[in-house]
Chains A and B, each alone.
Chain A
Amino acid sequence: MSGGRVLPQSKEALLKSYRTRLRDDVKSMLENFEEIVKLAKGEHDTQLSRMTQCEQDTYEMHVRAANIVRAGESLMKLVSDIKQYLILNDFPSVNEAITQNSKLFRTKQAECDQKLMSLRDDMAADLYDLEEEYYNSINK
């Protein structure tokens, strides 16, 4: 692949956004996971009462778990966007798919025509016998 190729700005920005999204989502999943595990330790030296601290920790765990799920869903959306981009812009694959389909269709067409030609040959042979019978009979 040529190193000097310059993509249009929109495509380059799109690919850059994919990298940014990937980096941010993975970072979000890791950080939130770490924080939940840290909260699970349950530190006892706080200024708040125990109940309040428990409530706060529970709420924070809920929010961080929701963040992990959101980051997971964002990754799924990223994969879907990459699939779409691949189908539209991956020229080697598109070329190969078109070539394969063309080859398949032309093979089928050749088979159809070959069958028709053999049918024609069989019917011509039968017609020869029928014509001979007809023109030699008294009932024509």
Chain B
Amino acid sequence: MTAPMERISALDTIEKDIITCLHSAGQVFVELSKEKLSLKQAENHTQTFLKTLSAVENKLTEQINYLTQVSTGQPHEGSGYASQKVLQMAWHRLEHARSRVNELDRLKLKHAQGRTAGRSSSGGNGASTSTAIAPAT
């Protein structure tokens, strides 16, 4: 995974941790509301809640510290447009060559159909003459 996507996926993980945190807190209250409550379960969920919340705080602090180090306040002026345009022109060249080859193919088919039609019409005339001669003998 590339470095830009790693940071974004780290933030996705933090979002999931926040949801886990809220879920654990809810589980603690559900456990406490039961008549026959299990202290061990309640304690486990509480530990999960506290641990996850602490992890969320640490990870977010780390992300904010990183941003403090790398941000400059200036807008980024880089662009990938040049290479994109180069690829687009190569694609146009390919499409142009494809259209010319298709045209050539079409001409070839047309020529082949013309020759086939010519042969079948000249072969039909020859067959009728031989049929006329045969009954006389």
A112 within 8 A of B: yes
**Chain B stretch 60-106: residues in CB contact (< 8 A) with chain A:** 60-61, 63-64, 67-73, 76, 78-80, 82-84, 86-87, 89-91, 93-94, 97
Pairwise interchain contact A30-B53, C-beta atoms closer than 8 A: yes
Pairwise interchain contact B56-A26, C-beta atoms closer than 8 A: yes
In the bound complex, CA of A102 to CA of B83 (Å): 5
Interface residues on B, range: 35 or more
**A108 surroundings in chain B (CB, below 8 A):** 87, 90
A90-B4, A91-B70 as given contacts; A98 in contact with B79, CB under 8 Å: yes
**A75 surroundings in chain B (CB, below 8 A):** 18, 56, 60
Pairwise interchain contact B4-A94, C-beta atoms closer than 8 A: yes
**B67 surroundings in chain A (CB, below 8 A):** 15, 82, 85-86, 89-90
Closest 9 CB pairs of A and B: A93-B4, A8-B73, A105-B83, A102-B83, A112-B90, A109-B90, A89-B71, A105-B87, A101-B80
Return the contact of A119 from the options B69, B76, B97 (Cβ within 8 A). B97
How many pairs of residues, A versus B, come closer than 8 Å at their CB atoms?
139
A113 CB → nearest B CB, Å = 6
A26-B53, A97-B4 as given contacts; A91 in contact with B76, CB under 8 Å: yes
B8 within 8 A of A: yes
In the bound complex, CA of A40 to CA of B22 (Å): 18
Interface residues on A, range: 35 or more
**B84 surroundings in chain A (CB, below 8 A):** 101, 105
**A82 surroundings in chain B (CB, below 8 A):** 11, 60, 63-64, 67
B36 CB → nearest A CB, Å = 15
B111 CB → nearest A CB, Å = 13
A69-108, CB under 8 A of B: which get 1 and which 0? 1001001101100110111111111111110111101101
